[in-house]
Amino acid sequence: MVAKIIDATEAKVGTNIMLEKECFAVKKMDVSKTGKHGHTKCRIEAENMISGNKKVFVVPGHERFEVPLVLKHRAQVLSIGDKVSVMNLETFETIEIDCSEELRSQIHENSNVEYWDIEGFLVIKRML
């Protein structure tokens, strides 16, 4: 579910956008205004919110992007295996979420974490 649609010139650092059905966070943005009959061009450096891969692309200023709905939740870690089993602290539902190796080494059972629901994809972002 998309929160809203914005033009490329409206995107600022920290804005979340969808590109090719993937969610990105804008890290750097340059807007260049062209001459008499040209269009504004936007050079955007973005980082994938799930995998962390960086992407640089140039689009016309009137290009439209969808802003993804990102829900942030707190949870308690129940067990750590192939996937991390967590319990949402508001709804008390149990969920299994993939976790990066970097975070997996930091978390332990009964610790609290923050996970994000990014357009239906769940990812653990940080330890609380």
Q: Set out the domains of the chain in order of their start, with CATH numbers.
A: 2-68 (2.30.30.30), 70-127 (2.40.50.140)
| Element of type H or E holding 114 | strand 112-118
What's the average model confidence in pLDDT over 109-121? 90
Report the half-sphere exposure of 51 (CA within 13 A, side-chain side): 7
Q: Round the average pLDDT of the chain to a whole number and report it.
A: 89
Distance between CA atoms of residues 118 and 26, nearest Å: 15
Residues 6 or more apart whose CB falls under 8 angstroms from that of 118 comprise: 23, 49, 50, 68, 70
Supply the pLDDT for residue 92: 92
Residue with tokens 């949870």: 75
pLDDT category, 1, cuts 50, 70, 90?
low
pTM above 0.85, yes or no: no
Query: Residue 105: pLDDT above 90?
Result: no
